[in-house]
Amino acid sequence: MANIFLSSAHNTYGQDKPYTSLNTPELNDIITYINEESLDELLGFLNAFTPISTAELDNIEVKLTTVYAEGLELQVQTKNTESPSTNAQNHPEQRQTFFIAFPAAITHPDELQIQYIALKQKADKKLGKKTIKLTKQVFDVQDSYRVSKNMLRLELNMPTLNNTNGTSNPTSVPINEAGYAYLFDLEHNALIKDTTADNIDDSKNTSRLARSHCYYTLRKAWQTPAGIQAWVDVFLHGNTPGGNWANSLQAGDTVVTKREFPEKIEHLRDGQALLIADETSMPTVARLLELWENPTPPLVVSVTQNAADQRYFDTVKIRSGIDIGSINNRIDSNSERTIKNTVKDNFTVLPIVTDQQCSGQHLASLIDNTIGNYLIDQPIKIDKVWGALEASTVKALRPMLRERLDLSRAEVVIKVYWRQD
């Protein structure tokens, strides 16, 4: 991957290497979206394709400024307490612009997503990280039922395919990974329903769907003789495309996924962790708890609009998805001494019930204050954070928690799982 360092003063390109502007009306929205939701990915590109080191990443601000047919232009600024304008005047050398080339130049704006994903795959591979996959998977729906007031569980099955030689095809559904997400193709079911109803009215075709895809997490998956069984928990928050899709599914239907990606949770392996869930990320946190190998149980903040949905965690047992003996053995051999029952079997939930739809600065302050109040009485130091919430809440909460808990960017991972209109 060639990195072309661009002059920070002029922000222009070398005569010998002109880049092609993209003429698409959505480009500004795409750039805003990437800057708000994909900061980690931009940092990953810098880490993989520029001389900026992992340690330096914590001390810079990165912004996607332009997308060209050939790649991305990233502006990097060293963090400073001065305002950006004063900073630029006083320290112009602290701003740098990097060009990160796509694996192949795009010829049509529709290819932007493909090249962006290809770039992410390449960066993750270089950094030795698990990455996004563009794989089509088909599951059979077996059942659906509520597991809390508004959380609908889909029970899915992926049959083991037998080859002609009698061996079975291993499926690629991850059984021991928390937060593994699938992009479900909502149009697949709308199409089938239209076809089976012999609906030939063009005005009712699937283009009417306000949303054709939706991310949902693999709540849990396990191997059975008949194939992989899986749960996907969909929070129903009114009349929305994702909720309507999940509600309409019946035993015998198929569901199709088109993309899948792992969650960023490696930092939770040790230290005192804080997990922050809202209704959409409760499935991820539940699975994190079941697969919790860190000897210290986490503190969990659970935000719901309705008090009844707090019951979602009632049936979740920490470490129930792993062999505790093996963890104690690992801890024993690491510390070279015998520790019996090192692993404690509890976790604390701090419930926050908002009673009405609540997001942004207000919810961020509510979460921050709840944690602050808890820490007044509890002698613990939070070392790591993972959470997933609404976009504006995430934006407000990240700096609050980093400041309150005195943590680095890498220690505070708070993802955007949905966006308030």
Contacting positions for ligand FAD (CB under 6 A)? 181, 211, 214-217, 233-235, 237, 240-243, 279-280, 283, 357, 417-418, 420-421
CB of 11 or CB of 247, closer to ligand FAD:
247
CB of 211 to ligand FAD, least distance (A): 5
CB of 73 or CB of 279, closer to ligand FAD:
279
DSSP string across 191-249: HHHHHHTT---GGGSGGG-S-SEEEEEEEEEEEETTEEEEEEEEE--SS-HHHHHHHH-
Closest of 215, 344, 236 to residue 284, by C-alpha: 215
341, amino acid identity: N
Half-sphere exposure (Cβ direction) of 81: Cα atoms closer than 13 Å: 0
CB of 37 to ligand FAD, least distance (A): 9
CB of 390 to ligand FAD, least distance (A): 7
* Cα 387 from Cα 299, distance rounded (Å): 12
- Residue partners of 386: CB distance under 8 A and separation at least 6: 264, 265, 267, 268, 273, 274, 275, 276, 288, 413, 414
Total count of residues recorded for the chain: 421
- Residue partners of 379: CB distance under 8 A and separation at least 6: none
Closest of 335, 245, 244, 344 to residue 293, by C-alpha: 344
CB of 284 to ligand FAD, least distance (A): 7
Strand-by-strand arrangement of the 60-68 sheet: 3-6, 95-101, 71-78, 60-68
* Cα 99 from Cα 33, distance rounded (Å): 19
CB of 167 to ligand FAD, least distance (A): 33
CB of 282 to ligand FAD, least distance (A): 8
Closest of 306, 301, 258 to residue 389, by C-alpha: 301
CB of 40 or CB of 345, closer to ligand FAD:
40
- Nearest 5 degrees, angle CA 395-CA 367-CA 211? 50
CB of 96 or CB of 280, closer to ligand FAD:
280
CB of 68 or CB of 184, closer to ligand FAD:
184
CB of 180 to ligand FAD, least distance (A): 9
Positive or negative CA dihedral for 226, 284, 214, 35?
A: negative
CB of 243 or CB of 295, closer to ligand FAD:
243
CB of 54 or CB of 248, closer to ligand FAD:
248
Give the residue closest to ligand FAD by C-beta. Answer: 242
CB of 79 or CB of 211, closer to ligand FAD:
211
CB of 132 to ligand FAD, least distance (A): 10
